[in-house]
Structure 1
């Protein structure tokens, strides 16, 4: 991680805790991190845990609370503010806090095993701030900058909410396998391993997912019979488009509420 003398992490729930564990595992000194959370979560040894905002100002202030909790915070100061609050725009954060630079980030839950996706955006031209933000997120998985802030609605739907959609797919695969005769626990293991292996192969292959699907599907074979169901009238693509569209619209609604 690009060095930061001090980091304050406001909120240490599922996502905040996952990021914290990865920072420590990647070599960040625990003594450089202060967690501010009134619910006294378990934190790694050496990390300072406080219930209320202490005096002073950190180099990096990371907001990992729920968007509706934003109003309960005082006007904090920091050189760099990094926010993972869904729907809360940079202009809102800049008006609410005293920070030299504001960076929005959208991580997803697999950051806990360094397999996350993190989208970043800032209007700041400060190269150092961008480098620190990128370095902070690098241990969490794939990190990429997006061009426009309004693209966060799509990112939220695709990678932020995406793990939830994939878990539903795994559940559906396992349920179908069980209905067709496999023991439930075995069907679930097969479903999880199949999704994991297919994703790993897609990551390493130069071929597109569409090409990989066709490679699995021999003419007249079992895979083709199943794909014919998914591909009929673009059934699967339409369902996923509607799913992401609903999530993206909800992200936009949250942004509107935070703006107001």
Structure 2
């Protein structure tokens, strides 16, 4: 696979998520010479990647990936905004920062794209939600080409639905990792060596996830097929299903993430745009 870009590509911030995406792109043939990372440390995230502590003045980027923490938006926007022009495609990974809030700070780019990836993008098994304002067919094609090596990309037209989907798949891996840890912990509490319980839990989730992704049946049907009437699996499922305990817990979990996103969006709207 060869990954090409429409021109200079800047990453503003390169933490866990942006770093995972960059590592995957480089593995898939992206030329490191086309990439500039701007980060306070000045430490290159990969060999051959130009890494600076401030936006370069010797070029106009074709695409910018905004990967700082949402709280840092108004620290980077004043210096970054003048470097962009109408042809620049601005891609934001900032959770909770709506397109209107980005537009208030970055007036020049015609195309502003919000992307919500999850950490499995590092393996090409991620999910990336996308929504855009002002993106023509060329810009969308460039974004699609960038997302393809990362996993499954899905476009949205409604920003509220985009945000909700981002909580489901963006935060979802953390929720699943907690379940894996709890399952392994339960096994250890009942007598398995902890290292063995963790190893078995991770291997089980890998296989079960692959089966759920490949099977035409719904996960509920797959669960039913595992559970023989009167058997051990059915006994465990009854605990999860009692008073819809698992569903209620997951709804509360997802809703807590959603409500925090609403708070972050309100904060970004309230903050004054850079002069």
Contact 2:129–2:166 (Cα < 8 Å) also in 1: no
State how far apart, in whole Å, the 2-side matches of 1:136 and 1:209 are.
Answer: 30
SS in 1 for 2:110: strand
The aligned length equals 260
Deviation at 1:2, TM superposition (A): 5.5
Deviation at 1:125, TM superposition (A): 4.8
- In structure 1, the residue matched to 2:70 is 67
Choose which of 148, 154, 159 in structure 2 pairs with 1:144.
Answer: 154
Contact 1:153–1:249 (Cα < 8 Å) also in 2: no
Deviation at 1:123, TM superposition (A): 2.7
Q: CA RMSD in A?
A: 1.2
Choose which of 35, 57, 72 in structure 1 pairs with 2:60.
Answer: 57
Q: Deviations over 1:151-197 (max 9, x none)?
A: 23312321111111111101110111011110000000111111111
Q: Deviations over 1:209-228 (max 9, x none)?
A: 00000000010111111111
SS in 2 for 1:46: coil
Contact 1:107–1:160 (Cα < 8 Å) also in 2: yes
Contact 2:124–2:150 (Cα < 8 Å) also in 1: yes
* 2:268 equivalent to 1:238: no
Gaps of 5+ in 2: 271-275
Choose which of 24, 30, 42 in structure 2 pairs with 1:28.
Answer: 30
- In structure 2, the residue matched to 1:77 is 84
Choose which of 211, 220, 233 in structure 2 pairs with 1:201.
Answer: 211
- Worse-matched range after superposition: 162-171 or 121-130: 121-130
State how far apart, in whole Å, the 1-side matches of 2:204 and 2:18 are.
Answer: 29
State how far apart, in whole Å, the 1-side matches of 2:45 and 2:31 are.
Answer: 13
TM-score by length of 1: 0.96
* 2:179 equivalent to 1:172: no
Deviation at 1:124, TM superposition (A): 2.4
Choose which of 7, 29, 46 in structure 1 pairs with 2:9.
Answer: 7
Contact 1:2–1:131 (Cα < 8 Å) also in 2: no
State how far apart, in whole Å, the 2-side matches of 1:146 and 1:67 are.
Answer: 21
TM-score by length of 2: 0.91
- In structure 2, the residue matched to 1:39 is 41
Contact 1:33–1:47 (Cα < 8 Å) also in 2: yes
SS in 1 for 2:133: coil
Q: Deviations over 1:99-119 (max 9, x none)?
A: 120010001111111111100
Gaps of 5+ in 1: none
Choose which of 234, 252, 261 in structure 2 pairs with 1:251.
Answer: 261
* 2:233 equivalent to 1:223: yes
